[in-house]
Amino acid sequence: MAGLPSDLRLPRHPRVRTRDLDEAHAALGGLYGEIALDLASDPRAFEWRANAAALGPITIVSGACNGEVRLHGTPAAYVLVASRWGNVRVAAPRGAANVVPGRSAALLQAAAPMTLRNDGDWLTSVARIDRGFLEGQEGWRPLVACPGAAAGPRCSTSTRQVC
């Protein structure tokens, strides 16, 4: 990669590993906007780890959380949430979805309130897409709820917009 022009090199990947709620809250705010984090289980079991790769208007986050948590607030961007381990319930003004590993994902609307709660330990893959970038695309239309839409002819993965 040393031969790539500097404007094509990936930025340093931010890494978070914390057992501190205030630190986790600050990191979540930097990634997603006004998001609060509440513990629903023993605080001694809590740990949050995340690696983020900022790729221009899209940020990919691979994360893990130990302990039951509740995230709530208003994301500043569109957020696609997929679980690799552990079930998650996402609720927003226009509906709710269960995010099941390998079977479904939830697309959260930018600037709309949401609540996300896991059932315990959780591994995630998240794509954060800047609102201005997505809405500025030629031919942009607001996203429509599409429960059960197949990702491919033999794939059972579905994405549901919940807000």
Going by C-beta distance under 8 Å and a sequence separation of 6 or more, which residues neighbour residue 11? 53, 54
Q: Give the whole-number percent of the chain exceeding pLDDT 90.
A: 45
Domain coverage including residue 32: 13-131+155-161
Mean pLDDT of the chain: 80
Rounded-to-integer distance, Cα 155 and Cα 149, Å: 10
Looking at the domain assignment, is residue 106 inside a domain? yes
48: its two tokens: 């949050």
Looking at the domain assignment, is residue 139 inside a domain? no
CA distances from 156 to 98, 100, 104 (A): 15, 11, 8
Q: Give the whole-number percent of the chain exceeding pLDDT 70.
A: 77
CATH of the domain at 35: 2.60.120.10
- 107-154 pLDDT, tens digit per residue, is 898 999 999 999 889 999 999 999 999 888 887 766 544 333 333 333
* Torsion sign across C-alpha atoms 161, 112, 55, 83: negative
Looking at the domain assignment, is residue 91 inside a domain? yes
Comparing 153 with 16, which gets the higher pLDDT? 16
Task: Please tell me the total count of domains within the chain.
Answer: 1
User: Given a cut of 80, is residue 11 above it in pLDDT?
Assistant: no
Looking at the domain assignment, is residue 8 inside a domain? no
Rounded-to-integer distance, Cα 88 and Cα 70, Å: 10
What pLDDT was estimated at residue 12? 53
Which one, of 48, 117, 45, lies nearest residue 81 by Cα?
Answer: 117
Looking at the domain assignment, is residue 43 inside a domain? yes
20: its two tokens: 């501190």
H or E segment and range at residue 21:
helix 21-32
Looking at the domain assignment, is residue 150 inside a domain? no
Looking at the domain assignment, is residue 6 inside a domain? no
Looking at the domain assignment, is residue 2 inside a domain? no
